Amino acid sequence: KAGVTQTPRYLIKTRGQQVTLSCSPISGHRSVSWYQQTPGQGLQFLFEYFSETQRNKGNFPGRFSGRQFSNSRSEMNVSTLELGDSALYLCASSLAAGHQYNEQFFGPGTRLTVL
Amino acid sequence: TQLLEQSPQFLSIQEGENLTVYCNSSSVFSSLQWYRQEPGEGPVLLVTVVTGGEVKKLKRLTFQFGDARKDSSLHITAAQPGDTGLYLCAGRTGNQFYFGTGTSLTVIP
């Protein structure tokens, strides 16, 4: 079974631009979560989607948004990029949301650098 | 605000030594997970603990969930170079996981 795929793997943008990252979950998984990982703040939750609906949202500004399509693929968008948005963006998929044994399978991430 | 604090932040040990990583919080979690992340990859789940006081063993790794479900520890016996990586704990509250600050482990052959 193919794992979680994220595209692109690396991205360089300049301040003020916008960016869209893509995530394809494991086949059959309906929940997709997004995380931002930086050396200073560690791994922080952005949002979770399940069946095309946003179920949870972390404490990030409105410049960060996402969506999920009917095939469970998900995209996240960051508008008006700032230097501090440079990070590894990780996508995780799981079968369903809400169960305490819910195992998240992470993709390799997209490394975003903002210049 | 970090809900989960891990210690130590960095650890460098010789092959064959034992080590313990701690994950502490003032919050109560319904479950706690441990992950290992290697460079260029996403975190990989090692274990999920749910019950206060629960102990789980995975070969040379022993995981314990605190009685009050606020803290956890990971003990590695006879560490090997293949154990090198970033170890992350993640506590679940409601429908959200909160990740710890991470412990970077290097095992020197």
How close A17 gets to chain B, by Cα (Å)? 25
How close A5 gets to chain B, by Cα (Å)? 11
Q: Which residue has the tokens 């070969």?
A: B59
C-alpha B92/C-alpha A62 separation (Å) is 24
Query: For residue A1, what pLDDT is reported?
Result: 63
**Mean of the per-residue pLDDT values of chain B:** 93
Minimum-distance CB partner of A101 among B48, B88, B100:
B48
Helix (H, G, I), strand (E, B) or coil at A41: coil
Name, in order, each residue with C-beta under 8 angstroms of B9's C-beta and a sequence gap of 6 or more: B101, B102, B103, B104
* pLDDT bracket for residue B97 (50, 70, 90): confident
> Does B2 score more than 70 pLDDT?
no
Hey, what are B107's tokens?
């095992």
Contact status of A58 with chain B (Cβ, < 8 Å):
yes
Q: What is the dihedral of CA B26, A43, B31, B84, to 10 degrees?
A: -110
Minimum-distance CB partner of A42 among B30, B92, B102:
B102
Are A89 and A36 within 8 A, CB to CB?
yes
How close B77 gets to chain A, by Cα (Å)? 25
Q: What is the dihedral of CA B4, B7, B10, B11, to 10 degrees?
A: -140
C-alpha A50/C-alpha A77 separation (Å) is 17
Model pLDDT for residues A1-15, shown as the tens digit of each residue: 679 999 999 999 999
Question: Beta strands of chain A (E only): which ranges?
Answer: 5-7, 10-13, 19-24, 31-38, 42-50, 53-57, 64-68, 74-78, 87-94, 105-106, 110-114
Contact status of B99 with chain A (Cβ, < 8 Å):
yes
Model pLDDT for residues A13-47, shown as the tens digit of each residue: 999 999 999 999 999 999 999 999 998 888 999 99
Per CB-CB distance under 8 Å, the chain A contacts of B96 are 45, 48, 56, 58
Per CB-CB distance under 8 Å, the chain A contacts of B45 are 103-105
> Does A94 score more than 70 pLDDT?
yes
